[in-house]
A and B are shown apart, each in its own frame.
Chain A
Amino acid sequence: MYALKYDENKCISCSTQDCLIKCQYIDIDKESAKREILKIAHGEDSFVLHDCVTCYACEEYCPSNNHPYYLIVEKQEALDIPPLPRPIIQRGINIGIPFRGEPMIEKINGRALLMGVFSNLIFLIQGKLFEGLPIISTDPRKMFHYFCQLMYLHYARSSVIKERLPKIIKTIAEHQVTEVICFHDECYGTYASYCPAVGIEVPFKPVHLFEYLYNRLQELKNDIRPVKLKVAYQRPCSSRLSPDKHHFVQAIFDLIGAEAVKREYVDENALCCGGTIEGQRREGSRKRAADVQRRNIEDMKNAGAEVCVFNCPACYSTLGKMVARNGIKPVFMSDLCRLAIGENPAGWR
């Protein structure tokens, strides 16, 4: 039905094999990398399929936009090599089932902010930055009607994504939106990267939250007072699906007077939150996740970060308390921006 736009020739002629060479979780040389990626392309078993921790990074590393990560996920499913135990997969699939009635559809005829499955975080959406912006998916009881489904990339279930996503898109489209500002980075990745990669039509323009925030801050430039905080950015896995928008992170920091500390695990080398690694089948996964988290936070501390800026609520719920325990204040990017224009951050503790 929706076939992944993968071109084997690009891998054959690739000179870098960056997808696997740059992988933070696999140790491999160029020759083996080429061999393994082609084995995967041909539907053969490869240790890569077993050892992949689903951090999404190779989508960014690939110089040819050939979707190595989406490929790995499809083949994990095809060969029944899911990274997670079956009960977790069943649980995950069922989480996405909406069961509390249909959502209310108000017609927007313009742009709107999409909360996705984070309707509970609507308290963050206040103040001048979001003034006059209509919001969709405001009811936590109906939010799974707006679930982008991309979480299932961690579960080797591209089939579930492809099966459910068209209806989700239809529900969003019923609001008659022209532009959809995605509160959750992964929603943006779904509509801007995954859908084109598998040929699902998206009848609205996805807008990255940080691009929206940056533009809005430009409009409110006179209200900005430098926050003068040393910040570390927690880059989510989904950010790898929109590397063209990653520059907005630094752009916003520069605009609001936040000093991005000099870190090791930054940009291309960023560490994911480890939230999905913890439960994986691979031996030592619990410790692997803890190690990733420890290194990530040590890195923030050593660089002198006062604040850890979050993009993704899932990262926030995985790392937020841990970060706080280490003396660094966790905050969402939108809240940091609100601080910069003299407002009281909603989620500040």
Chain B
Amino acid sequence: MDAVYEALVKIVGKDHVSNQPEELFIYSWDLGTTEPHRPDYAVSPRTTEEIQKIVQLGNKEKIPIVPLGGGLSLAGLAVPFKGGMLLDLKRMDSIIEVNERARYALVECGVSQGQLTSYLERHYPHLTHSEPGAPPAATIAGNVAIHGQGDLAQPYGFNSDMINGLEVVIPTGEICQFGSCAIGAGWFTLHPLPDVGLFLGWNGTTGIITKVSMRLFPCKKIRGIGQFVVADEELVPEIMYKITHTQMAEDIVAASQAIPPFTSELQHLTINIAADSEKELEFKLEIIFDDTLGEYIREGEGGFLGFIRGLQKPQISKTSDWRKGGGFEYVGSIMPIEKYPACYRRGKEISERHGIPYTVLGRCIGAAHAMMFSWTYAFNRAEPDTIKHAREALHETDDLVLELGGTIWKPGVYGQKLVMERLNANTLNLMGKVKQLLDPNGIMNPGNWEVR
């Protein structure tokens, strides 16, 4: 093992590789309920070429490689189940280019959400990106790789739908590019060149994304949140459907939680609206809250809680401290929106059985094509019993997702198994072939999508 350490020192420098117990301890942990597994080395590369050399080393010595971005998926997607080299990619934090006219940003894989948000606010205030609800330390590339969604999900879809190009180090060490960048043009479009689906949703088992070109979107002068509340969860799908029809809103999220009491057994909808003028804002408020949602208000079934100006960006998350416990994990799913009521009721029931105050949320994706529905289970890191309950609730929820006819978003090992059990046999077979082709030595993030 010493020889590997020396080889890594040669590649990244002494300061950026560690086999010390402290680094190995920290990098063994996912922040959710996944049990820790220690890597043998923690490595922090700065360039694509360094990553390439590390991958070549991994193949030569048959050492597992685990690529880590922000580490905030909470599903244990970057836990070194089989040890090996944990690659902390956050040193690769250059924003390489922002192209105003073509509205894209080319970033290295370690650029964080908060960094990009701040950069755009200061230098390109008329451009914005779809920022997820994760803490700002989450990376752009990591979020894309897991098919994440942000606050522009409605109208623009998954963050993985917003890619113009990728640079990837594949498991055998070659550096590949996908999209217009691959033919030497700018990084402005992915299509119509051959598909990059090989690297999204694969949890790093098919390669390491080193650069991503992300679409940026118009950022209007006034951005804010209109709030609407209903008591009957059955109304949520039709409300989402109707609001998406107006094409006047940005993010649409419905949420319910046991604590504090004023959110309990109510569905609060937040509807983001952007406008460049008071005229535009008033028009959109009128279309959405007076015309479209007016019937619910008049019937007394739905209530308008006002429009608050300003989006808090980066978004603030205090979820982990709800039980004063430093921890939570959630099951994310991609569901048909019509399942919202069932997701809410069943989620409430699972939470109550495990003594966890329920917390659920549904984010509309696209023109109500689907929603990301999440069930969050907070635990107290100092009380193992609560971790056990959270883990059980998470597993039950993974089962629930498939029972209700949805699919698990960014599944951890448990969820991956459930998905693979149901996957079309030929598709599963093909996945195996792809993995074999790309990663013949099986070094990439082992333990994930183990189709063999």
A residues contacting B by CB (< 8 A) are 82, 84-88, 90-92, 94-95, 97, 99, 278-279, 281, 283-287, 321
Contacts and interface: CB of A to CB of B under 8 A. Distances in A.
Contacts of A90: 231, 265-266
B194 interface: no
B305 A88 contact: yes
A90 B305 CA distance: 13
A95 B261 contact: yes
Interface string B287-324: 00110001011111111111001000000000000000
24 contacts: A85-B297, A86-B231, A86-B300, A86-B303, A87-B229, A87-B230, A87-B303, A88-B229, A88-B305, A90-B231, A91-B229, A92-B262, A94-B263, A95-B261, A95-B262, A99-B261, A278-B304, A278-B306, A279-B303, A279-B305, A279-B306, A287-B286, A287-B290, A321-B309
Given A278-B304, A283-B294, 9 more contacts: A84-B303, A85-B296, A86-B303, A87-B230, A88-B305, A279-B297, A279-B305, A286-B289, A286-B290
A281 B229 contact: no
B380 interface: no
A278 B303 CA distance: 10
A284 B297 CA distance: 10
A283 B309 contact: no
B301 A87 contact: yes
Ranked 10 nearest A-B pairs via Cβ: A88-B303, A85-B303, A94-B261, A94-B262, A95-B262, A87-B231, A97-B261, A87-B229, A85-B300, A279-B304
Task: State the majority secondary structure of interface residues on B.
Answer: mixed
A99 B322 CA distance: 13
A94 B266 CA distance: 10
A86 B261 CA distance: 16
Name the residue in B264, B303, B305, B309 with the highest tally of chain A Cβ atoms < 10 Å from its Cβ. Answer: B303
Contacts of B175: none
Contacts of A84: 303
Nearest to A85: B303
A169 to B, nearest CB: 22
Contacts of B192: none
A98 to B, nearest CB: 9
B392 to A, nearest CB: 26
Interface of A is mostly: helix
Nearest to B305: A279
A87 B302 contact: yes
Contacts of A91: 229, 262-263, 266, 303
Interface in B260-294: 260-266, 285-286, 289-290, 294
B420 interface: no
A152 to B, nearest CB: 13
Contacts of B259: 99
A78 to B, nearest CB: 16
Contact of B260 (A88, A99, A279): A99
A287 B287 CA distance: 12
Nearest to A280: B297
Nearest to A97: B261
Given A86-B231, A99-B260, A99-B261, A281 B290 contact: no
A91 B299 CA distance: 17
| Most central of B261, B265, B301 by chain A CB within 10 Å | B261
Interface in B118-143: none
B262 A283 contact: no
B334 to A, nearest CB: 27
Contacts of A94: 260-264, 266
Contacts of B231: 86-87, 90
B224 to A, nearest CB: 11
